[in-house]
């Protein structure tokens, strides 16, 4: 049972100090979660802490590959707009 950080993460560090299991790894091109350490915060907190502070939609996934912060859920920019922003950035 572990969460995963995927492409789109902007390395903003917000999650790193919050993780109760120190499972976040500072890495490039984006931060990672050590699957053997991640507990999805089930016993410690009501929600996984990394996903509760992450400012980017769609970059923290559960084991089913579902985004904990789906498009449109954080910024209100809307799914289509935010997808195109990420694409621009990935291409830059």
Partner 1 sequence: MPTPTLGTPLSASGCSAGSCGSKSSQMDGLSADIQRKVQDHPCYSEEAHHHFARMHVAVAPACNIQCNYCNRKYDCSNESRPGVVSEVLTPSQAVKKTLAVAAAIPQMSVLGIAGPGDALANPERSFTVFRELQLRAPDIKLCLSTNGLMLPEYVEQIAAANVDHVTITINCIDPDIGAQIYPWIFWNHRRIHGREAAEILIAQQQKGLEMLVARGILVKINSVLIPGINDEHLKEVSRVVRAKGAFLHNVMPLISDPAHGTYFGLSGQRGPTPEELQNLQDACAGDMNMMRHCRQCRADAVGMLGEDRGADFTMDKIEALEIDAQFEQAAMQRRVALRTEINAELEAKRAARHTAIISLLRPAKPQGRPVHMAVASSGGGLINQHFGHAKEFLIYEASSAGVRFLGPRRAAQYCGGEADCGEAENTLARTIAVLADCEVVLCSRIGIEPWGKLEAAGIRPNGEHAMEPIEEAIGKVWQEMLAAGKLNAAPFEDQKMA
Query: Do 40 and 62 contact (CB within 8 A), yes or no?
Result: yes
Choose between 2 and 74: whose C-beta lies nearer to partner 1: 74
Query: φ, ψ for residue 16 (rounded to 5)?
Result: -55, -50
Beta carbon nearer to partner 1, 36 or 91: 91
Tokens read off for 47: 């929600």
Site for partner 1 in 11-70 (CB under 8 A): 11-14, 16-17, 45-47, 49, 52-53, 55-56
Count of C-beta atoms within a 10 Å radius of residue 17: 10
Binding interface with partner 1 (CB under 8 A):
10-14, 16-17, 45-47, 49, 52-53, 55-56, 74-77, 81, 85, 88-89
């Amino acid at each position: 049972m572990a969460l995963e950080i995927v492409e789109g993460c902007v390395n903003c560090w917000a999650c790193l100090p919050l993780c109760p299991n120190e499972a976040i790894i500072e890495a490039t091109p984006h931060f990672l979660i050590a699957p053997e350490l991640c507990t999805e915060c089930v016993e410690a907190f009501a929600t996984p802490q990394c996903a509760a502070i992450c400012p980017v939609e769609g970059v923290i996934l559960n084991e089913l590959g579902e985004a904990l912060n789906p498009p449109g859920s954080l910024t209100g920019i809307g799914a289509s707009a935010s997808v195109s922003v990420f694409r621009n950035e990935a291409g830059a």
